């Protein structure tokens, strides 16, 4: 009476994965640091904890798997048989048994090694024991690898089995391959089963749901059956047989009258007779499909006889009801899934038969009287013979009449329905516009004009404004005055001059800015950066003369100061003072030095103080330095401890 | 809910997404980069495991590549030498064959007499007494130190009962008592879990032998009846010697090699 759902089984990991999971868990979730110097009891505890933790994890995961998988004996025999057919009950049980054994072995390993760890007297010994324990547990798990793989495979297949409620009213469809069972299912339910012209398109059971008289019925489609002895049947057919045997349902046996499925009527009849044992107490209906190709009346005599035989056999399944003639129609039905004729009739007949049977059964069951006792429909007893019909007040009747009259007005909805419905007809919203001239209703308003959006300029008072503007214009025209024009129209020459003036202005500003910084602070361009040799004295002379100044003295001065002149010393000595020719360290009485050493010191200090300033425009030690803000060694690489979220 | 092979059915009916194959191809191409990123960024034990796995694969790949490479170098080819083949200079000599087939038991008996054994582990590290025993203090004031507890694996026979606790000098804790050993047959290369019958000789001294202490190198006698060995005479062999090859106190089990 339960709805079985095999989708909730947890995924079964493979052997190696299981080992990885458990061992990495142990490594992450138990303390990792222990030293030789720690107290031996602490060392022991540390390693015992690891062994216990690993065992717990293994046991948990294996137990979960063992419990999730259904036991073949405990579930409904239909599913038990189905599991046996699909996965081989013995193999299934063995695999689960192996997992169980593994679980017990791991428990035993943990007990043994925890006992041994109590005698561990050194860190090395405890560590070796823990290593041996975990290693053994992992070996056990490795050995059950194939079982785990098999169980995972089974789980994946089980999750896709149809979930059949074994207690709900069910209709079972069976018959030869290709007779039209799946098409019938597609017709009456929303199950979208594949329908193809080749046999054994349906390879397993499929479930659909349909309603009849406020009840939900399950319709189960089975793969086709061939007329073979039970031992020879393959897995696909066995699924079908399992459903037939174990489920209590109305059985629809499909017959293909035309023989287009590849099997003649005699073959189909033979199949029917060989499986009629399995019907037992279930109501049976024989459905003749594909009547568009071949009708029941058009059958040959022999075929008709076979069909009637089947019908009589089916009639026998009706539990001892009198009046067989009344039920005649319900047992043999014809339909065609392509033309849809008779499909609903078949469904209704099947549902009705099943409903009758189920209600009868319920009536006969022991619980019925207790339930019946709870029902009581109370009807008021008539106290006199007076008739009391229905009473409706007059006002209501009038209102109703008015409404009926009013219905003549056509609503938008009606227009819509007339013109094709919601998706086809779009209402014209313009027909109720209020405009000055009704002809403008259907005009198309332009969206762009002269590169502008028309909607930007639409204003409620736009007309007013236009009028104002017009008035102004006419007023101006009458005046004949000229406006202040903001932008003059320049001639080409005037434009060029303007550009020139602007350029000159910019240059002047730049120059002024350079000049503002004194010669001391701004770098002069050393000669080595003047590769083009632009800064020559000739150039200077030219520039000066263009300004109206005589350049000769300036050039002389520049040349005399330049370093590349040779023999300067000689020059100086020729024109120099004889008096000033003295040795450097000689103390002159008026100067105030104590001795020649002091004077030398003074001379050195003077020289150092007048050292030429570095104006090479290169960075010195006093200049601002921009360091490497992101040194590579701090911003890349792994950390041995901690995370690298922040650096 | 979807039933049966719904994925294949959907594929059959509707085909694949328009960009399915391209996405698949690109995802697979990206896998290589992701693999490398994971290998570079993983820290700690995980990084080491990934590195180990990658190294194994690398070695495997190198081997296959080498195998497939055609080498033009000449290699020495050793022709199989036939059994009993004799070099040319030894031909025309009469070799005497002194073949006396002795039975295994007789060999063993002789060896026993001589006291000489050919064992897999001829030398073992000597175990000091303070390593073997732990001193237990006893007495009212815990000053007496004559009791010793054995810290190594021991074997006591099936009918063992302790001496009265007051008088027992050497305590063999039950947690360290073993009855079974994992014995490997050196020729068959397979391991059996066999019962120990007794400790024959402990290389560290006769005292340990008498106590039944099993350390590395100890000769033990095991019950080999499950191997089904039979003497030429027709008797079933049920006890054989084996030598312990591991440190049982560190591994929690006794591994031994059968002495054939």
The stretches of A520-592 forming alpha helices (DSSP H) are: 537-547, 552-561, 568-575
pLDDT confidence tier of residue B74, bands split at 50, 70 and 90: low
A132, A163, A203: residue with CB nearest B251: A132
Task: Kindly identify which residue of chain A lies nearest to residue B131, measuring between CA atoms.
Answer: A121
Orientation angle between helical segments A15-29 and A40-68, nearest 10 degrees: 140
Helix (H) or strand (E) holding B182: strand B180-184
Inter-chain CB proximity A129 and B250 less than 8 Å: yes
Which structure tokens are listed for A497? 């001059």
Q: How far apart are CA A70 and CA A33, in angstroms?
A: 43
Q: How many angstroms separate the CA of residue A291 from the nearest CA in chain B?
A: 28
Phi-psi region for residue A302, left (φ > 0), alpha (ψ -120 to 50) or beta? alpha
Q: Is A116 on the interface with B (CB under 8 A)?
A: yes
Inter-chain CB proximity B151 and A115 less than 8 Å: no
Q: Is A129 on the interface with B (CB under 8 A)?
A: yes
Phi and psi, residue B30, nearest 5°: -70, -25
For B221, residues 6+ apart whose C-beta sits below 8 A from its C-beta are B196, B197, B198, B199, B200, B239, B240, B241, B242
CA B40 to chain centre: 36
pLDDT at residue A223, rounded to an integer: 92
User: Rg of chain B's alpha carbons, rounded to an integer?
Assistant: 32
Q: Is A111 on the interface with B (CB under 8 A)?
A: no
Collect all residues of chain A within an 8 Å Cβ-Cβ radius of residue B2: 160
Q: How far apart are CA A642 and CA A631, in angstroms?
A: 20
Collect all residues of chain A within an 8 Å Cβ-Cβ radius of residue B41: 638
Q: Distances from the Cα of A563 to the Cαs of A340, A571, A576, A615, in angstroms? A: 115, 14, 19, 16
A315 by Cβ neighbours in 10 Å (0-12 / 13-18 / 19+) ranks as middle
Locus of tokens 């026998």: A316
Task: Kindly identify which residue of chain B lies nearest to residue A135, measuring between CA atoms.
Answer: B251
Inter-chain CB proximity B43 and A638 less than 8 Å: yes
For CA atoms B140, B146, B152, B155, the dihedral sign is negative
Residues A325 and A215 sit within 8 Å (Cβ to Cβ): no
Tens of pLDDT along B211-242? 999 999 999 999 999 888 888 888 899 999 99
- Among B136, B151, B251, the residue to mutate for chain A (most A Cβ within 10 A): B251
pLDDT confidence tier of residue B75, bands split at 50, 70 and 90: low
Residues A212 and A347 sit within 8 Å (Cβ to Cβ): yes
Which structure tokens are listed for A570? 């000689």
Compute the half-sphere exposure of residue B210: CA atoms within 13 Å on the CB side of its CA. 4
- Among A638, A641, A642, the residue to mutate for chain B (most B Cβ within 10 A): A638
Closest CA to A129 of A60, A57, A50, A53: A50
Q: Is A196 on the interface with B (CB under 8 A)?
A: no
Inter-chain CB proximity A129 and B251 less than 8 Å: yes
- Among A127, A156, A160, the residue to mutate for chain B (most B Cβ within 10 A): A160
For A173, residues 6+ apart whose C-beta sits below 8 A from its C-beta are A181, A184, A185, A219, A220, A221, A222, A252, A254
pLDDT at residue A524, rounded to an integer: 65
Phi-psi region for residue B46, left (φ > 0), alpha (ψ -120 to 50) or beta? alpha
pLDDT at residue A337, rounded to an integer: 86
Collect all residues of chain B within an 8 Å Cβ-Cβ radius of residue A27: 45
Task: Kindly identify which residue of chain B lies nearest to residue A209, measuring between CA atoms.
Answer: B1
Torsion, Cα A134 A140 A142 A148, to 10 degrees, reads: -120
Q: Is A30 on the interface with B (CB under 8 A)?
A: no
- Judged against a pLDDT cut of 60, whether residue B45 lies above it is answered with yes
Task: Kindly identify which residue of chain B lies nearest to residue A111, measuring between CA atoms.
Answer: B175
Torsion, Cα A368 A369 A375 A376, to 10 degrees, reads: 150
Total beta-carbon pairs less than 8 A apart between chain A and chain B: 57
Inter-chain CB proximity B250 and A132 less than 8 Å: yes
Inter-chain CB proximity B252 and A129 less than 8 Å: yes
- Among B252, B253, B254, B255, the residue to mutate for chain A (most A Cβ within 10 A): B252
Tens of pLDDT along B167-217? 999 999 999 999 999 999 999 899 999 999 999 999 999 999 999 999 999
Direct distance between the N- and C-terminal alpha carbons of chain B, in angstroms, rounded to an integer = 66
Task: Kindly identify which residue of chain B lies nearest to residue A130, measuring between CA atoms.
Answer: B251
Torsion, Cα A326 A330 A334 A338, to 10 degrees, reads: 140
pLDDT confidence tier of residue B22, bands split at 50, 70 and 90: very high
The stretches of A378-517 forming alpha helices (DSSP H) are: 394-406, 412-418, 454-457, 462-479, 492-516
A220 by Cβ neighbours in 10 Å (0-12 / 13-18 / 19+) ranks as buried
**Three-class SS of residue A338?**
coil
Q: How many angstroms separate the CA of residue B188 from the nearest CA in chain A?
A: 22
Strand partners, B154: B177, B213
Q: How many angstroms separate the CA of residue B24 from the nearest CA in chain A?
A: 23
Residues B95 and B85 sit within 8 Å (Cβ to Cβ): no
Task: Kindly identify which residue of chain A lies nearest to residue B153, measuring between CA atoms.
Answer: A116
Inter-chain CB proximity A194 and B6 less than 8 Å: no
Residues B152 and B176 sit within 8 Å (Cβ to Cβ): yes
Q: How far apart are CA A499 and CA A508, in angstroms?
A: 14
Inter-chain CB proximity B250 and A125 less than 8 Å: yes
Inter-chain CB proximity B251 and A204 less than 8 Å: no
Inter-chain CB proximity A125 and B249 less than 8 Å: yes
Low-confidence ranges of chain A (pLDDT < 50): 321-326, 486, 571, 573-576
Q: How many angstroms separate the CA of residue B156 from the nearest CA in chain A?
A: 17
Which structure tokens are listed for A641? 């401890």
Collect all residues of chain B within an 8 Å Cβ-Cβ radius of residue A24: 45-46
For CA atoms A208, A211, A216, A222, the dihedral sign is negative
Q: How many angstroms separate the CA of residue A640 from the nearest CA in chain B?
A: 7
A249 by Cβ neighbours in 10 Å (0-12 / 13-18 / 19+) ranks as buried
User: Rg of chain A's alpha carbons, rounded to an integer?
Assistant: 54
Q: How many angstroms separate the CA of residue A62 from the nearest CA in chain B?
A: 24
Q: How many angstroms separate the CA of residue B139 from the nearest CA in chain A?
A: 22
- Judged against a pLDDT cut of 50, whether residue B19 lies above it is answered with yes
pLDDT at residue A515, rounded to an integer: 75
Tens of pLDDT along B84-135? 777 888 777 766 555 555 566 677 677 777 766 678 888 899 999 989 999 9
Strand partners, B191: B184
Helix (H) or strand (E) holding A65: helix A40-68
Instruction: Kindly report the pTM of this predicted structure.
Output: 0.65
Inter-chain CB proximity B3 and A162 less than 8 Å: yes
Q: How many residues does chain B have?
A: 260
Q: How many residues does chain A have?
A: 647
**Three-class SS of residue B75?**
coil
Q: Is A124 on the interface with B (CB under 8 A)?
A: yes
pLDDT at residue A486, rounded to an integer: 47
Locus of tokens 């730049």: A510
Q: How far apart are CA A577 and CA A269, in angstroms?
A: 148
Q: How far apart are CA B68 and CA B62, in angstroms?
A: 10
Task: Kindly identify which residue of chain B lies nearest to residue A193, measuring between CA atoms.
Answer: B9
Q: How many angstroms separate the CA of residue B83 from the nearest CA in chain A?
A: 42
CB atoms within 10 A of CB A470: 10
pLDDT at residue B84, rounded to an integer: 74
Strand partners, B243: B219, B257
Q: Work out whether strand A452-453 and strand B133-138 pair parallel, antiparallel, or are unpaired.
A: unpaired
B4, B41, B252: residue with CB nearest A116: B252
CB atoms within 10 A of CB A187: 18
B127 by Cβ neighbours in 10 Å (0-12 / 13-18 / 19+) ranks as buried
Torsion, Cα A488 A494 A495 A498, to 10 degrees, reads: -100
Task: Kindly identify which residue of chain B lies nearest to residue A28, measuring between CA atoms.
Answer: B45
Inter-chain CB proximity B175 and A132 less than 8 Å: no
ipTM over 0.95: no
Q: Is A112 on the interface with B (CB under 8 A)?
A: yes
CB atoms within 10 A of CB A371: 11
Collect all residues of chain B within an 8 Å Cβ-Cβ radius of residue A638: 41, 43, 47
Q: How many angstroms separate the CA of residue A161 from the nearest CA in chain B?
A: 6
Strand partners, B257: B184, B243
Q: How far apart are CA A202 and CA A640, in angstroms?
A: 59
pLDDT at residue A328, rounded to an integer: 61
Interface residues of chain B, partner chain A, Cβ below 8 Å = 1-6, 9, 12, 41, 43, 45-47, 134, 151, 173, 175-176, 247, 249-253
- Among B56, B215, B250, the residue to mutate for chain A (most A Cβ within 10 A): B250
Phi and psi, residue A76, nearest 5°: -55, 140
CB atoms within 10 A of CB A273: 14
Phi-psi region for residue A551, left (φ > 0), alpha (ψ -120 to 50) or beta? alpha
pLDDT at residue A482, rounded to an integer: 56
Tens of pLDDT along A111-135? 999 999 999 999 999 999 999 999 9
Strand partners, A334: A288
CB atoms within 10 A of CB A18: 22
A119, A163, A639: residue with CB nearest B173: A119
What are the percentages of helix, strand and coil residues in chain B, rounded to 5? 35, 20, 45
The DSSP line for A102-168 is HHHHHHHHHHHHHHHHTT--SHHHHHHHHHHHHHHHHHHHHHTHHHHHHHHHHHHHHHTS---BTTS
A113, A160, A638: residue with CB nearest B4: A160
pLDDT at residue A322, rounded to an integer: 40
Inter-chain CB proximity B9 and A162 less than 8 Å: no
Q: Distances from the Cα of A121 to the Cαs of B60, B151, B189, B216, B249, in angstroms? A: 42, 8, 34, 18, 10
Closest CA to B185 of B235, B229, B146: B229
Tens of pLDDT along A342-382? 888 889 989 998 998 888 888 888 777 777 788 888 888 88
């Amino acid at each position: 009476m339960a709805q079985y759902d095999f989708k909730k089984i947890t995924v079964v990991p493979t052997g190696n994965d299981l080992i990885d999971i458990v061992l990495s868990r142990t490594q992450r979730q138990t303390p990792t640091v222990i030293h030789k110097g720690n107290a031996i009891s602490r060392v022991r505890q540390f390693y015992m904890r690891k062994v216990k933790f690993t065992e717990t994890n293994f046991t948990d995961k294996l137990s979960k798997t063992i419990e999730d998988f259904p036991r073949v004996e405990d579930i409904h025999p239909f599913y038990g048989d189905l599991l046996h057919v699909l996965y081989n009950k013995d193999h299934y049980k063995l695999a689960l048994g192996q997992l169980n054994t593994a679980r017990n072995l791991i428990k035993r390993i943990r007990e043994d090694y925890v006992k041994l760890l109590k005698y561990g007297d050194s860190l090395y010994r405890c560590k070796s024991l823990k290593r041996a324990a975990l290693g053994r547990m992992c070996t056990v798990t490795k050995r059950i690898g194939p079982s785990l793989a098999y169980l995972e495979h089974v789980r994946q297949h089980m999750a896709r089995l149809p979930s059949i409620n074994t207690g709900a009213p069910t209709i079972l469809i069976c018959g030869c391959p290709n007779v039209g069972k799946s098409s019938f299912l597609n017709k009456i339910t929303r199950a979208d089963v594949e329908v193809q012209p080749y046999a054994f398109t349906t390879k397993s059971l499929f479930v659909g749901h349909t309603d009849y008289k406020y009840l939900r019925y399950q319709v189960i489609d089975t793969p086709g059956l061939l007329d073979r002895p039970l031992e020879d049947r393959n897995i696909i057919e066995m699924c079908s047989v399992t459903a037939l045997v174990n489920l209590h349902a109305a059985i629809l046996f499909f017959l293909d009258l035309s023989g287009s499925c590849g099997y003649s009527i005699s073959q189909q009849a033979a199949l029917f007779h060989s499986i009629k044992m399995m019907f037992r107490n279930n109501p049976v209906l024989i459905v003749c499909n594909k009547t568009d190709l071949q009708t029941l009346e058009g059958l040959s005599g022999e075929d008709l006889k076979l069909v009637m035989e089947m019908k009589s056999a089916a009639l026998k399944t009706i539990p001892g009801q009198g009046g067989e003639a009344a039920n005649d129609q319900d047992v043999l039905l014809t339909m065609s899934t392509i033309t849809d004729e008779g499909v609903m009739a078949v469904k209704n007949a099947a549902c009705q038969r099943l409903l009758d049977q189920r209600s009868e059964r319920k009536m006969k069951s022991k619980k019925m009287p207790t339930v019946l006792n709870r029902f009581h429909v109370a009807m008021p007893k008539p106290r006199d013979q007076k008739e009391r019909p229905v009473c409706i007040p007059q006002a209501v009747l009038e209102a109703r009449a008015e409404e009926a009259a009013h219905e003549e007005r056509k609503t938008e909805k009606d227009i819509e329905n007339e013109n094709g419905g919601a998706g086809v007809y779009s209402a014209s919203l313009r027909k109720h516009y209020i405009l000055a001239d009704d002809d403008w209703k259907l005009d198309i308003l332009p969206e762009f004009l002269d590169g502008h959006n028309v909607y930007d300029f639409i204003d409620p008072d736009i007309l007013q404004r236009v009028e104002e503007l017009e008035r102004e214009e006419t007023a101006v025209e009458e005046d004949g005055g000229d406006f202040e024009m903001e932008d003059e129209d320049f001639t080409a020459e005037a434009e060029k001059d303007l550009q020139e003036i602007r350029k000159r202005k910019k240059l002047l500003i730049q120059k002024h800015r350079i000049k503002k910084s004194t010669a001391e602070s701004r770098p002069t361009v050393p000669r080595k950066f003047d590769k083009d040799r632009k800064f020559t004295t000739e150039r200077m002379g030219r520039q000066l003369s263009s300004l109206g100044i005589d350049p000769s003295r300036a050039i002389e001065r520049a040349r005399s100061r330049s370093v590349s002149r040779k023999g300067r010393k000689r020059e100086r000595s020729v024109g120099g003072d004889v008096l000033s020719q003295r040795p450097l360290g000689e103390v002159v009485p008026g100067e105030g030095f104590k001795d020649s050493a002091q004077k030398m010191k003074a001379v050195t200090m003077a020289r150092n103080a007048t050292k030429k300033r570095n104006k090479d425009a290169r960075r010195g030690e006093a200049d601002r330095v921009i360091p490497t803000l992101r040194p590579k060694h701090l911003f890349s690489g792994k950390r041995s401890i901690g995370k690298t979220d922040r650096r | 809910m979807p039933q049966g092979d719904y994925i294949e059915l959907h594929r059959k009916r509707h085909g694949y997404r328009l960009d399915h194959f391209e996405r698949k191809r690109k995802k697979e191409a990206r896998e290589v980069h992701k693999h490398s990123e994971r290998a570079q960024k993983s820290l700690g034990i995980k990084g080491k495991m990934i590195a180990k796995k990658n190294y194994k694969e690398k070695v495997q790949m190198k081997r296959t590549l080498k195998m497939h490479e055609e080498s033009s170098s000449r290699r020495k080819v050793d022709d199989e030498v036939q059994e009993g083949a004799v070099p040319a200079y030894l031909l025309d000599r009469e070799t005497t064959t002194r073949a006396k087939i002795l039975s295994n038991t007789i060999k063993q008996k002789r060896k026993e007499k001589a006291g000489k054994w050919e064992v897999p582990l001829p030398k073992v590290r000597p175990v000091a007494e303070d390593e073997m025993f732990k001193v237990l203090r006893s007495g009212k004031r815990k000053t007496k130190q004559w009791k010793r507890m054995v810290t190594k694996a021991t074997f006591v026979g099936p009918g063992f009962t302790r001496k009265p606790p007051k008088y027992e000098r050497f305590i063999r804790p039950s947690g360290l008592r073993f009855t079974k050993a994992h014995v490997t047959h050196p020729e068959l290369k397979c391991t059996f879990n066999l019962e120990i019958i007794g400790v024959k000789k402990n290389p560290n001294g006769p005292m340990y032998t008498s106590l039944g202490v099993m350390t590395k190198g100890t000769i033990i006698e095991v019950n080999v009846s499950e191997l089904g060995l039979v003497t030429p005479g027709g008797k079933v062999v049920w006890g054989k010697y084996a030598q312990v090859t591991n440190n049982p106190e560190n591994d929690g089990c006794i591994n031994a090699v059968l002495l054939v």
